Amino acid sequence: PECKRWDAELHAFRDWFASLDGFGEYLRSFFATYGGYFNCFAEEHALVYTQLHKEFSSHLERSIGGWLEARGLRDEEFGDMLRRACIRGDGDGDAIVGALLGLLDYDPWIKSIFALQRASLEAAEAPMPPPPPPPVAAESTADAAVTPAAAMAVVVPEGVAPGDQLHLTSPEGQELVVVVPEGCAPGTAFTVTYGGEPSAPLEN
Protein backbone atom coordinates (compact mmCIF):
# COMPACT_ATOMS: atom_id res chain seq x y z
CA PRO A 1 0.00 0.00 0.00
CA GLU A 2 2.84 2.39 0.84
CA CYS A 3 4.49 1.83 -2.55
CA LYS A 4 1.20 2.41 -4.34
CA ARG A 5 0.75 5.65 -2.44
CA TRP A 6 4.21 6.92 -3.45
CA ASP A 7 3.58 5.88 -7.04
CA ALA A 8 0.34 7.85 -7.06
CA GLU A 9 2.01 10.87 -5.49
CA LEU A 10 4.89 10.68 -7.98
CA HIS A 11 2.50 10.67 -10.92
CA ALA A 12 0.56 13.56 -9.37
CA PHE A 13 3.78 15.55 -8.93
CA ARG A 14 4.84 14.75 -12.50
CA ASP A 15 1.53 16.07 -13.80
CA TRP A 16 1.84 19.24 -11.72
CA PHE A 17 5.47 19.73 -12.61
CA ALA A 18 4.68 19.27 -16.30
CA SER A 19 2.47 22.33 -16.06
CA LEU A 20 5.70 24.30 -15.52
CA ASP A 21 6.86 22.61 -18.73
CA GLY A 22 10.29 21.80 -17.31
CA PHE A 23 12.65 24.33 -18.83
CA GLY A 24 9.75 25.82 -20.72
CA GLU A 25 6.86 27.99 -19.70
CA TYR A 26 8.05 29.40 -16.38
CA LEU A 27 11.62 29.71 -17.58
CA ARG A 28 10.46 31.57 -20.71
CA SER A 29 8.33 33.83 -18.53
CA PHE A 30 11.33 34.49 -16.29
CA PHE A 31 13.53 35.23 -19.30
CA ALA A 32 10.95 37.61 -20.75
CA THR A 33 11.17 39.63 -17.53
CA TYR A 34 14.93 39.52 -16.91
CA GLY A 35 16.31 38.72 -20.38
CA GLY A 36 17.90 42.15 -20.69
CA TYR A 37 20.38 41.26 -17.94
CA PHE A 38 21.90 38.31 -19.85
CA ASN A 39 24.57 38.31 -22.54
CA CYS A 40 25.05 34.88 -24.10
CA PHE A 41 28.14 36.11 -26.01
CA ALA A 42 30.16 37.26 -22.99
CA GLU A 43 32.89 34.89 -21.81
CA GLU A 44 32.47 35.78 -18.14
CA HIS A 45 29.22 35.49 -16.23
CA ALA A 46 27.98 38.62 -14.50
CA LEU A 47 27.36 38.57 -10.76
CA VAL A 48 23.69 39.35 -11.36
CA TYR A 49 23.30 35.91 -13.00
CA THR A 50 23.79 34.14 -9.69
CA GLN A 51 21.42 36.54 -7.97
CA LEU A 52 18.72 35.92 -10.58
CA HIS A 53 19.29 32.16 -10.37
CA LYS A 54 18.85 32.34 -6.62
CA GLU A 55 15.57 34.19 -7.10
CA PHE A 56 14.43 31.67 -9.70
CA SER A 57 15.38 28.69 -7.52
CA SER A 58 13.65 30.21 -4.50
CA HIS A 59 10.47 30.64 -6.51
CA LEU A 60 10.56 27.05 -7.71
CA GLU A 61 11.29 25.72 -4.22
CA ARG A 62 8.37 27.72 -2.82
CA SER A 63 6.11 26.35 -5.55
CA ILE A 64 7.16 22.76 -4.80
CA GLY A 65 6.76 23.41 -1.07
CA GLY A 66 3.24 24.68 -1.67
CA TRP A 67 2.41 21.56 -3.67
CA LEU A 68 3.77 19.28 -0.94
CA GLU A 69 1.83 21.13 1.74
CA ALA A 70 -1.37 20.86 -0.29
CA ARG A 71 -0.78 17.09 -0.61
CA GLY A 72 0.07 16.67 3.07
CA LEU A 73 3.65 15.60 2.33
CA ARG A 74 6.92 16.51 4.05
CA ASP A 75 10.20 17.31 2.29
CA GLU A 76 11.72 14.07 3.63
CA GLU A 77 8.87 12.01 2.19
CA PHE A 78 9.23 13.74 -1.16
CA GLY A 79 12.96 12.95 -1.22
CA ASP A 80 12.30 9.32 -0.30
CA MET A 81 9.69 9.09 -3.02
CA LEU A 82 12.13 10.28 -5.69
CA ARG A 83 14.96 8.09 -4.40
CA ARG A 84 12.80 4.96 -4.45
CA ALA A 85 11.66 5.73 -7.98
CA CYS A 86 15.25 6.15 -9.16
CA ILE A 87 16.47 2.98 -7.38
CA ARG A 88 13.91 0.81 -9.12
CA GLY A 89 14.62 2.46 -12.48
CA ASP A 90 11.37 4.44 -12.73
CA GLY A 91 11.67 6.63 -15.80
CA ASP A 92 9.30 9.22 -14.32
CA GLY A 93 11.44 9.56 -11.21
CA ASP A 94 14.65 9.93 -13.22
CA ALA A 95 13.06 12.54 -15.47
CA ILE A 96 11.75 14.56 -12.52
CA VAL A 97 15.07 14.50 -10.69
CA GLY A 98 16.89 15.53 -13.85
CA ALA A 99 14.48 18.39 -14.46
CA LEU A 100 14.73 19.62 -10.88
CA LEU A 101 18.52 19.55 -10.97
CA GLY A 102 18.40 21.38 -14.29
CA LEU A 103 16.35 24.15 -12.71
CA LEU A 104 18.01 24.33 -9.29
CA ASP A 105 21.68 23.94 -10.31
CA TYR A 106 23.32 27.04 -11.75
CA ASP A 107 25.26 25.57 -14.69
CA PRO A 108 22.40 23.82 -16.54
CA TRP A 109 20.09 26.70 -15.66
CA ILE A 110 22.30 29.39 -17.21
CA LYS A 111 22.80 27.22 -20.31
CA SER A 112 19.03 27.10 -20.73
CA ILE A 113 18.82 30.87 -20.29
CA PHE A 114 21.49 31.44 -22.95
CA ALA A 115 19.76 28.99 -25.31
CA LEU A 116 16.53 30.98 -24.93
CA GLN A 117 18.39 34.23 -25.57
CA ARG A 118 20.00 32.90 -28.74
CA ALA A 119 16.64 31.64 -29.97
CA SER A 120 15.13 35.05 -29.27
CA LEU A 121 17.92 36.82 -31.17
CA GLU A 122 17.65 34.45 -34.12
CA ALA A 123 13.91 35.04 -34.28
CA ALA A 124 14.46 38.81 -34.23
CA GLU A 125 16.99 38.59 -37.09
CA ALA A 126 14.77 36.43 -39.30
CA PRO A 127 13.61 38.43 -42.33
CA MET A 128 10.00 39.44 -42.13
CA PRO A 129 7.84 38.80 -45.19
CA PRO A 130 6.90 42.00 -47.00
CA PRO A 131 3.42 43.26 -46.20
CA PRO A 132 0.81 42.77 -48.88
CA PRO A 133 0.18 45.81 -51.06
CA PRO A 134 -2.81 47.88 -50.01
CA PRO A 135 -5.94 47.40 -52.06
CA VAL A 136 -6.27 49.89 -54.87
CA ALA A 137 -9.69 51.44 -54.88
CA ALA A 138 -11.23 52.22 -58.24
CA GLU A 139 -11.02 55.93 -58.86
CA SER A 140 -14.45 57.36 -59.29
CA THR A 141 -15.29 59.82 -62.02
CA ALA A 142 -16.16 62.41 -59.41
CA ASP A 143 -12.75 62.05 -57.70
CA ALA A 144 -10.89 62.14 -60.99
CA ALA A 145 -12.61 65.29 -62.15
CA VAL A 146 -10.66 68.49 -61.64
CA THR A 147 -12.60 71.17 -59.85
CA PRO A 148 -12.59 74.26 -62.08
CA ALA A 149 -11.15 77.46 -60.66
CA ALA A 150 -13.61 80.13 -59.60
CA ALA A 151 -13.23 83.90 -59.88
CA MET A 152 -14.57 86.85 -57.93
CA ALA A 153 -14.33 90.62 -58.20
CA VAL A 154 -12.72 92.54 -55.36
CA VAL A 155 -13.11 96.30 -54.73
CA VAL A 156 -10.06 97.94 -53.18
CA PRO A 157 -11.12 99.46 -49.84
CA GLU A 158 -10.14 102.94 -48.66
CA GLY A 159 -6.73 103.12 -47.10
CA VAL A 160 -5.37 100.13 -49.04
CA ALA A 161 -2.55 100.62 -51.54
CA PRO A 162 -1.08 98.41 -54.26
CA GLY A 163 1.08 95.65 -52.73
CA ASP A 164 -1.04 95.42 -49.58
CA GLN A 165 -2.62 92.10 -48.62
CA LEU A 166 -6.36 91.60 -48.33
CA HIS A 167 -8.00 88.79 -46.33
CA LEU A 168 -11.19 87.72 -48.09
CA THR A 169 -13.83 85.02 -47.88
CA SER A 170 -15.19 83.52 -51.09
CA PRO A 171 -18.92 82.88 -51.62
CA GLU A 172 -18.17 79.18 -50.89
CA GLY A 173 -16.57 80.07 -47.55
CA GLN A 174 -12.93 79.63 -48.60
CA GLU A 175 -10.47 81.93 -46.80
CA LEU A 176 -8.31 83.86 -49.29
CA VAL A 177 -5.28 86.13 -49.02
CA VAL A 178 -4.64 88.31 -52.09
CA VAL A 179 -2.23 91.10 -52.92
CA VAL A 180 -3.63 94.32 -54.41
CA PRO A 181 -2.04 94.60 -57.87
CA GLU A 182 -0.20 97.66 -59.05
CA GLY A 183 -2.40 100.41 -60.49
CA CYS A 184 -5.43 99.55 -58.36
CA ALA A 185 -6.43 102.56 -56.27
CA PRO A 186 -9.10 102.53 -53.55
CA GLY A 187 -12.55 102.16 -55.11
CA THR A 188 -11.29 100.28 -58.18
CA ALA A 189 -11.94 96.55 -58.72
CA PHE A 190 -9.78 93.63 -59.73
CA THR A 191 -10.52 89.93 -60.19
CA VAL A 192 -9.01 87.01 -58.22
CA THR A 193 -9.18 83.30 -58.97
CA TYR A 194 -9.30 80.59 -56.31
CA GLY A 195 -9.84 76.85 -55.95
CA GLY A 196 -6.90 74.53 -55.17
CA GLU A 197 -4.10 76.86 -56.27
CA PRO A 198 -3.02 79.99 -54.37
CA SER A 199 -5.26 82.85 -55.28
CA ALA A 200 -3.88 85.27 -57.85
CA PRO A 201 -5.34 88.57 -59.00
CA LEU A 202 -6.27 89.04 -62.63
CA GLU A 203 -5.77 92.41 -64.22
CA ASN A 204 -9.02 94.02 -65.38
pLDDT of residue 23: 43
CA distance linking residue 197 with residue 149, whole number of Å: 8
Distance of CA 131 to the CA centre of its chain: 18
pLDDT of residue 105: 85
pLDDT of residue 12: 80
pLDDT of residue 134: 65
In this structure, the number of other CB atoms found within 10 A of the CB of residue 22 comes to 17
All residue ranges of the chain with pLDDT < 50 are 21-23, 141-142, 144, 197-199
pLDDT of residue 148: 62
Q: Are 56 and 109 in contact (CB under 8 A)?
A: yes
Residue 1's identity, in one-letter code, is P
Task: Read off the DSSP letter of residue 115.
Answer: H
pLDDT of residue 22: 45
Cβ neighbours of residue 76 under 8 Å, at least 6 residues apart? none
Among 110, 30, 108, which residue's Cα sits nearest to residue 63?
A: 30
